[in-house]
Amino acid sequence: MLKIVRNLIACAALLIGAQSAFAGVMYDVSNATKACGVGHGLWTNQQYTKKSSCGNHFAIEAWLKLYEDGGEKKGHLWGTAKNSQGHVAKIDIWMSNWASEGAYKQEGGAEYSDEKHDFFLKYGGTITISKGDRSRVWDVSPYGFNFQYGMGASAKGADYMGASAWLQACTEKKGEKYCPQGHWDLNLKLTKKVPEPSTLALLGLGLAGLGIARRRKAA
């Protein structure tokens, strides 16, 4: 029995140790800064609406998951963002091609550091913007810079964990592909959440086995 418990503990330790600090990390995503009285998590560059620049600032409530799939580091950003004019943006962006170096946008963020900042060179997905019964799906892809994240990586702030990306946004108008000139951008503040349940379960399994082994030894 003791041998089984020891093997159980060893397996749990190996499984936990095999997960890098990157695997299974979740962040709450909020606005890096404010503009026009709302958040500046998503900016649509005069697309919503042209009558007022404030309509292009969307306050974001979302999540960012960093994980490993087949040994490859990936990311997923999803959630919603709202502007002051009643438009709601549903965000669903997937990331791959992780790299420790990339095209970095500093602006109001921290100076680039290869120890603090990482990148996804490839990302894409959709941002669906709706108001009432009308909606439009925008396909998004990289524009000029990579998806960057880390301490001070938001282009709008240097003193917190953040992320930024420029987006090429395209949609369909009158049966044709339409990509407005200029970029959209994401400027995000990241707040780390607790480990995923699978990681906690493995840790609990190891601790439970350790407790059993100690009680048997005491007996």
Per residue in 118-170, pLDDT (tens digit) is 999 999 999 999 999 999 999 999 999 999 999 999 999 999 999 999 999 99
Q: Give just the sign of the alpha carbon dihedral 92, 48, 43, 60.
A: negative
Q: Are 113 and 188 members of one domain?
A: yes
Q: Are 128 and 172 members of one domain?
A: yes
Considering 22-36, 79-93, 180-194, the range whose residues carry the highest mean pLDDT is 79-93
Angle subtended at Cα 204 by Cα 198 and Cα 208, rounded to the nearest 5 degrees: 145
Q: Are 147 and 173 members of one domain?
A: yes
Q: Are 19 and 29 members of one domain?
A: no
Q: Are 133 and 59 members of one domain?
A: yes
Q: Are 33 and 11 members of one domain?
A: no
Q: How far apart, in Å, are the Cα atoms of 156 and each of 34, 102, 187, 203? A: 10, 18, 7, 37
What would the pLDDT profile of 9-42 be if each residue is shown by its tens digit?
555 544 444 444 455 799 999 998 877 777 789 9
- Rounded to whole angstroms, the Cα distance separating 68 from 77 reads 15
Contact 190, 163 (CB under 8 A): yes
Question: Could you tell me the pTM of the whole model?
Answer: 0.79
Q: Are 203 and 143 members of one domain?
A: no
Q: Are 92 and 153 members of one domain?
A: yes
Q: Are 5 and 67 members of one domain?
A: no
- Rounded to whole angstroms, the Cα distance separating 185 from 150 reads 17
Structural domains in the chain (count): 2
Q: Are 90 and 176 members of one domain?
A: yes
Domain containing 140: what range? Answer: 25-193
Q: Are 40 and 125 members of one domain?
A: yes
Q: Are 140 and 210 members of one domain?
A: no
Position 215 scores a pLDDT of 58
